């Protein structure tokens, strides 16, 4: 199943900046696609279109599911809520019942390895744990398509490698389609089944390759 299908996508911001041009990109279920490229080449813009935060100015940007998860570089947790209630937030906004969201949150917290930390506030957590809380919050929506905008970019290298392994495990457990943005080519190759290289202003796709020996994910 194709979850995301972009054809000849262009985006021009209101100030006239053309951020993206002629982008063709597909993500199928079970695929984990990473996008690498230097700052300013339109990677975030691409993800913002995929998540519906921006609309393509030209071309066709189809997303074939309404279950889209989105994780930013900043974990964006509410500081006054503990892990449990931060994770429940999205389910709450979807009007799930209290019992439903409790169960969803418990499962997600377990999946990211935060069981036992439910009552901790964000400031009592390490950066990696905050990011895992943010991941868990997105997981409560059972996303079919998961969008990651440099989620581990602000973390130290050891935590980052650890979380990359966690993400591979999550992917194996949930089999979502993934679209992951990073500056790091090694991270891209480690995580993905396919790497897309973007460059230039406006940003274009300049190369794409299947990872020859993707990490096992089941």
How is 181-205 classified by DSSP, letter by letter? EES-HHHHHHH-SEEEEEETTTBEE
Q: Which of 7, 26, 201, 217 binds ligand ADP (CB under 6 A)?
A: 201
Rounded CA separation 61/46 (Å) = 10
Task: Please report, as residue ranges, which positions from 155 to 184 form the binding site for ligand ADP (by CB under 6 A).
Answer: 159, 162
In terms of CB distance, is 1 or 15 closer to ligand ADP? Answer: 15
**Is 193 one of the binding residues for ligand ADP (CB under 6 A)?**
no
Quick one: tokens of 94? 């979807």
Helices 127-139 & 98-111 angle (0-180, nearest 10): 130
C-alpha to C-alpha distances, 68 to 3, 38, 51, 146, 179, nearest whole angstrom = 10, 25, 7, 6, 11
In terms of CB distance, is 39 or 55 closer to ligand ADP? Answer: 39
**Is 199 one of the binding residues for ligand ADP (CB under 6 A)?**
no
The values of phi and psi at residue 198, to 5°, are -110, 155
**Is 10 one of the binding residues for ligand ADP (CB under 6 A)?**
no
Q: Which of 53, 124, 186, 207 binds ligand ADP (CB under 6 A)?
A: 124
Residue 207 bridge partners (DSSP): 197
Rounded CA separation 20/58 (Å) = 10
Shortest separation between residue 171's beta carbon and ligand ADP, angstroms: 17
In terms of CB distance, is 60 or 165 closer to ligand ADP? Answer: 165
Q: Check: CB of residue 40 under 8 Å from CB of residue 201.
A: yes
In terms of CB distance, is 194 or 204 closer to ligand ADP? Answer: 204
**Is 115 one of the binding residues for ligand ADP (CB under 6 A)?**
no
**Is 128 one of the binding residues for ligand ADP (CB under 6 A)?**
yes
Please give the residue ranges that form the binding site for ligand ADP (CB under 6 A).
Answer: 13, 15, 17, 19, 37, 39-45, 124-126, 128-129, 159, 162, 201
């Amino acid at each position: 199943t194709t979850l995301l299908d972009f054809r000849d996508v262009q985006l021009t911001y209101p100030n006239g900046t053309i951020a993206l041009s002629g982008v063709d990109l597909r993500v199928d279920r079970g695929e984990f696609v990473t996008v690498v490229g230097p700052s300013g080449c339109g990677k975030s813009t691409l993800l913002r279109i995929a998540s519906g935060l921006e609309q393509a100015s030209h071309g066709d940007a189809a997303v074939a599911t309404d279950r889209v998860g989105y994780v930013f570089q900043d974990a964006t947790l509410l500081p006054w809520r503990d892990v449990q209630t931060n994770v429940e937030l999205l389910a709450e906004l979807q009007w799930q019942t209290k019992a439903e969201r409790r169960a969803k949150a418990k499962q997600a917290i377990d999946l990211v390895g935060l069981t036992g930390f439910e009552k901790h506030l964000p400031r009592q957590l390490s950066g990696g744990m905050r990011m895992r809380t943010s991941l868990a919050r997105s997981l409560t929506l059972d996303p079919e398509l998961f969008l990651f905008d440099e989620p581990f970019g602000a973390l130290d290298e050891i935590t980052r490698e650890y979380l990359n392994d966690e993400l591979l495990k999550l992917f194996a457990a949930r089999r979502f389609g993934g679209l992951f943005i990073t500056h790091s080519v090694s991270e891209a190759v480690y995580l993905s089944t396919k790497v897309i290289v973007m460059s230039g202003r406006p940003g274009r796709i300049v190369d794409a390759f299947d990872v020859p020996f993707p990490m096992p994910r089941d």
